[in-house]
Amino acid sequence: MAEPITVRAAADRMGLGARSRVYRPPRARRAVVRALEMVALLLIALFVIVPIWPTLVLALDASVPGFPDELRLWPGDLSLQVFVDVWIAPTRELSYLGLLRNSLIVAGGAALISLVFGITMAYAFARLRFPGRRVGQGIILVGSLLPFVALMTPLFLLLSVIGIRSSLLGLMIVYAAFSLPLAVWLTRASFSAVPEDLEAAAFVDGAGRLTTFLRITLPLALPSILVAAVIAFLIGYSEFAIGWLFVTKGEDVTLAMALWGPEIREGGAFARLAALCVLMTIPVILIFVVLQRRMLRDVRTGLLEG
């Protein structure tokens, strides 16, 4: 019987032999590609930093009493007094820490509510078969496409009847309603990607559905859950228009609402507005720094296992 011809044997017969190796570009070409990548990353970094830098300069410049009339790359009179003023009393009722507390309560509560309901709904859509499943998914998809303004009137009436409209709990429910459809669709895809054989093996070993969900399915879908949590948090943390419609008490104002309030611009002092913008971004940056390593690690692990 003739010996089967392999790729290496065919290459040897054609005289390619040692030349049939994986092609590697020359070192000079690799250096050029690496340099182009670094230039591209530098341009992206500049695209992000350039809008932020003038805001920081304005917040640190004590020589601009009102509206800035020129672009400065460095403060004319470097001072932290504006940050001190904004930290102590950005509004008449609350300090910066009070505004931050309200923002974290509202945004964190909205993210938690949307995740609890979104994860359970997503798992039901991904694993269970019941009448109206496709219709329900379509309704949730339509809900994710609706603008915030379309839900303002019904939520206003509903929360007014319940008696929690002008409260932090009411804002939590409002922002959770906005982020719930997105949380459902993000996590549903992850639950559908988890092999059902893993759950079947757990069932064979005697685990119940809840144990299997908590021990196997939920950890595998954690990257999408973290992304949904961050998005839901940012919705509640940065939204202000609906907040001003629902909240009537000064002690329930959030950071985003304070940015668009008249008190922060008293006397035309836009440096106060810039300082509060900088202070408002600090918690978000810290959250991304804490979660980015876990999110990237989970995503990388999922890609390697897939």
pLDDT tens column, 233-285: 998 998 888 888 888 887 888 888 888 776 666 655 678 888 888 889 888 88
Q: What is the CA radius of gyration of the chain?
A: 27
Contact 182, 120 (CB under 8 A): no
**How many residues are given for the chain?**
306
Quote the pTM value: 0.76
Helix and strand counts by DSSP (H, E) for the chain: 14, 0
If you ran DSSP here, which 8-state letter would residue 205 be given? T
Contact 137, 144 (CB under 8 A): no
Classify residue 146 as exposed, middle or buried by CB count within 10 Å of its CB (0-12, 13-18, 19+): exposed
Report the candidate in 105, 146, 41, 116 with the shortest Cα–Cα distance to residue 237.
Answer: 105
Rounded Cα distance, 217 and 211, in Å: 9
Q: Domain 83-305: which topology?
A: MetI-like fold (1.10.3720)
Rounded Cα distance, 159 and 149, in Å: 16
Confidence of residue 295 (pLDDT cuts 50, 70, 90): low
Sequence spans of domains, the chain: 23-79, 83-305
Rounded Cα distance, 91 and 89, in Å: 5
Confidence of residue 20 (pLDDT cuts 50, 70, 90): very low
Contact 132, 124 (CB under 8 A): no
